[in-house]
């Protein structure tokens, strides 16, 4: 990885931190999730939806 690429990654990382979070590198606007099932799963597990792992979230994909 070049020094220029590293600097760009660092700038994006700092901007994301200031904005309060990070986007998944797997983000795809064509991916849709079953939000009702996500909320039911989170209630059952006692967790917040934002705390789901990527692996857990992939269980709820309904369209790609």
Q: What are phi and psi of 18, to 5 degrees?
A: -65, -35
The answer to whether residue 11 sits within a structural domain is no
Domain, as residue range, for 39: 25-64
Q: Is residue 41 situated within a structural domain?
A: yes
Examine residue 16 and state whether it is found in any structural domain, yes or no. Answer: no
Q: How far apart are CA 39 and CA 47, in angstroms?
A: 9
Pick from 10, 30, 33, 13: nearest CA to 22:
13
- Does a structural domain hold residue 13? no
**Three-state SS at 59:** coil
Confidence of residue 64 (pLDDT cuts 50, 70, 90): low
Let me know if residue 4 belongs to a domain.
no
Residue 30: inside a domain: yes
* Predicted confidence (pLDDT) per residue in 8-46, tens digit: 777 777 776 666 555 555 555 677 888 889 899 999 999
Q: What is the pLDDT of residue 22?
A: 56
Q: How many domains does the chain have?
A: 1
Q: Is residue 39 part of a domain?
A: yes
């Amino acid at each position: 990885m070049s020094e220029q690429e590293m600097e760009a990654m660092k700038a994006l990382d700092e901007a994301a931190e200031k904005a309060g979070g990070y986007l998944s590198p797997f983000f795809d606007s064509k991916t849709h999730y079953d939000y009702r099932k996500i909320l039911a799963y989170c209630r059952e597990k006692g967790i917040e939806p934002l705390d789901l792992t990527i692996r857990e979230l992939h269980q709820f994909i309904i369209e790609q």
